[in-house]
Structure 1
């Protein structure tokens, strides 16, 4: 029995902007924000660093990438070095962010909160945001309740502790202390083609994971969707 997970697949395939809507949606979301050169932005679960790199290239702002997976960290570091980008990359978890309180104008979470302990992560994001700072998130959301059997299969495959509807996200954000909460459906294609940066000697099981992921996306395409979230401290 393989111990490889969906997150390992993302890391070893080097999937950049694996979240629903992909990189095009990321660009559209960020273009609507009042990001300045002196803004401080924390990209939690930054993965291979594609969004963090774009943030610096587009806005010449202060960007920090936080990532826990060692392969993702390695690929993000190589990206930043090859492109000569002055982005700080930190190994750590969004559930225990290694920074002082009130540091960031923006925290960005692209398909990260769904995979962690959500109350802990939101409390930490709230802590490190400056007063008036903004969380921008793109997170997996279900449109309606699934059967217990279906929920169990999906949660086990993606290694998540829960599948949330829109009102569940709103409740968690309110509980964490956020205000000006806006949650809305994205209009971009959830099957946007991502960027790949493959590791050598990929295990066969990773292709099985990719196949199963595609199966779930097809089977639950009208239920397993996403929401765009913005809120402030």
Structure 2
């Protein structure tokens, strides 16, 4: 199994059990899916599901057949606890989207929310394309640079978050096109990465290393430092 690069930031998210850590949070997720044709016959994969907030919403709101996956065992445990608490029949699988052991063409929809930035993007997109049915929809809410940074600044971001690259909008679109996706649309949000972002949900672990509190603080400092440069886009495309 291919692992996500070491990221103390992701470790912090898992220990704090941050739900809706992606830009826009669960409220943006709900808006995105209002424009999609989802019902109880839809098969949906939530890539990098975290604590399962989005997966639970899709299952409860639409009655869809939802599979949620994440590589982090702490997140998987919290996602399973969520589904048990609300008695939702969501399948939870621990694994990597770079090599995911499910059959071709299984899903009508696949969503990733701040996930692709942390993995091998071409490999992950190849798997997502394989897992989608013909005509299936892929939706991604991903970290995006508004302009190219100096190398030292870009390295600061990559080192902190554990990323191999930080892409601009055109780079994302090129990746989707190269994978084979069609009808690629980009949604640019009215607000920047952290303007009017809803307060996330927390599901704390019993034991949290004190240094992880500093990691969250450092995250917000970086967002302020690179405000207007670090942003996000919502991409939608079809197989």
Q: TM-score range by the shorter chain?
A: over 0.9
Deviations 1:125-156 (A, max 9, x none): 00000000010110000000000000111000
Q: Is the 8 A contact 1:107 1:134 kept in 2?
A: yes
Paired position in structure 2 for 1:229:
235
CA distance in 1, matches of 2:86, 2:213: 30
Paired position in structure 1 for 2:29:
26
CA distance in 2, matches of 1:66, 1:187: 30
Structure 1: unaligned runs, 5 residues or longer? none
Find 2:212's aligned residue among 206, 210, 223. Answer: 206
Paired position in structure 1 for 2:111:
108
4+ runs deviating over 6 angstroms: none
CA drift at 1:190: 3.2
Paired position in structure 2 for 1:186:
189
CA distance in 1, matches of 2:37, 2:207: 43
Q: Is the 8 A contact 1:25 1:188 kept in 2?
A: no
Q: Is the 8 A contact 1:21 1:189 kept in 2?
A: no
Structure 2: unaligned runs, 5 residues or longer? 1-5
Matched positions, count: 231
CA drift at 1:52: 0.2
CA distance in 1, matches of 2:184, 2:175: 11
5 Å-filtered alignment, 1:48-67, equals: 48-67=51-70
Paired position in structure 2 for 1:173:
176
CA drift at 1:188: 4.9
SS at match of 2:104: coil
Q: Give the RMSD, CA atoms, in angstroms.
A: 1.1
Find 1:143's aligned residue among 139, 146, 153. Answer: 146
CA drift at 1:184: 2.2
Normalising to structure 1: TM-score of the pair? 0.97
